Amino acid sequence: MKYIAPRWLPGGQLQTIWPALYARRAQGPRPEYRRERWDTPDGDFVDVDFLQDGVAATVPRPLLVVFHGLEGSSRSHYGEAFADLARGQGWACALPHFRGCSGEINRAPRAYHSGDHAEIGWMLQRLRAAHTGPLMAAGVSLGGNALLRWAAEVGTDAARSADAVAAVCSPIDLAAGGLAIGRGFNRQVYTRMFMRTLVPKALQKLAQHPGLFDRQALLAARDLYAFDNAFTAPVHGYRNTEDYWLRASAKPLLHQIRIPALVVNARNDPFVPAASLPGAHEVGRHVTLWQPLQGGHVGFPRGRPPGHVRAMPEAVGGWLAAQAGLAVHLGGQSAHG
């Protein structure tokens, strides 16, 4: 990915914050969605938003699936940008929500986490069964780590559910990412932002299922390390934060992936230290690494102020399409392969 940030947005922090808040996401109107609620095998539910573009759902065409990041949704800036890309290419687009992220708390005594590969696999299987065309999947940040974990866990069976996958700005070394977001500016801004929604949702979960975890430990948490120690780890079968970060990370398993997989990380991402990124010797032949010097965390802005965030979805979507044997038309130009 050849990416150079505009001069008016220097540095990883600005390239992260500005695009999420102010940059244009779509070339036309804001994407409209049609929501489906799916019952899960364990008696819970997830909500999946489908791009509403006037094409009948029964028409065979490529499907782009987008998995969001921590506390994200189909309305995150990258979700709308990917949906707009799909609309322009004539693809169907599905944006599943992890449990508790669609605006309504889920029912089961669990939430979601970075290593939730079984949930990813179940969603992809269901989407594949309902669509006859190529299926491409992109995961952003947390969603990308979980997507890569799924591809690694199932090996050659991944091809039954997806033609190609991509992880965008994913902390595939969770310990490195967790420590980075707990320091300095990151702690004051991003950690506080995430904790404002994570803690109340965890308390709702405790009200549903008394005794599920230690309430006082949660209330004392001031960063994601402590939150994961009090909630994420015990609720999802991990011993503690260290065990969760170690066992849920995708990086050690990248050599096991057997379908085309793209791993995109800007080297100035505030959440993902460049030193923690994998080298070519740490991945298998099915994995492609893109590590541009700039871009921030899920930013990659382009253009004059306020800029737009289409650079990353177009690059990632073009790569996925090439792996699926599709032609991509961007700005009047056709790219294939």
**Rounded Cα gap, residues 1 and 178, in angstroms:** 26
Residue 168 contacts residue 197 (beta carbons within 8 Å): no
| 161 a catalytic residue | no
- What dihedral do alpha carbons 104, 226, 43, 37 form, nearest 10°? 30
**Rounded Cα gap, residues 82 and 101, in angstroms:** 18
Residue 90 burial (CB count, 10 A): 12
- Kindly name the residue from 113, 131, 297, 308 that is annotated as catalytic: 297
Beta-ladder partners of 241: none
**Rounded Cα gap, residues 245 and 175, in angstroms:** 5
Residue 76 contacts residue 141 (beta carbons within 8 Å): no
Peptide bond into 306 cis (omega under 30): yes
Beta-ladder partners of 39: 45
Peptide bond into 273 cis (omega under 30): no
User: CB within 8 A of 243, min separation 6: which ones?
Assistant: 233
Phi-psi region of 164 (alpha: psi -120 to 50; beta: other; left: phi over 0): beta
| 141 a catalytic residue | yes
Closest CA to 78 of 21, 151, 122: 21
- What dihedral do alpha carbons 73, 78, 81, 82 form, nearest 10°? -80
- Kindly name the residue from 76, 102, 114, 141 that is annotated as catalytic: 141
- Kindly name the residue from 117, 269, 286, 308 that is annotated as catalytic: 269
Q: What share of the chain is helix, strand, coil (3-state, %, to 5)?
A: 40, 15, 45
> Catalytic residue positions?
141, 269, 297
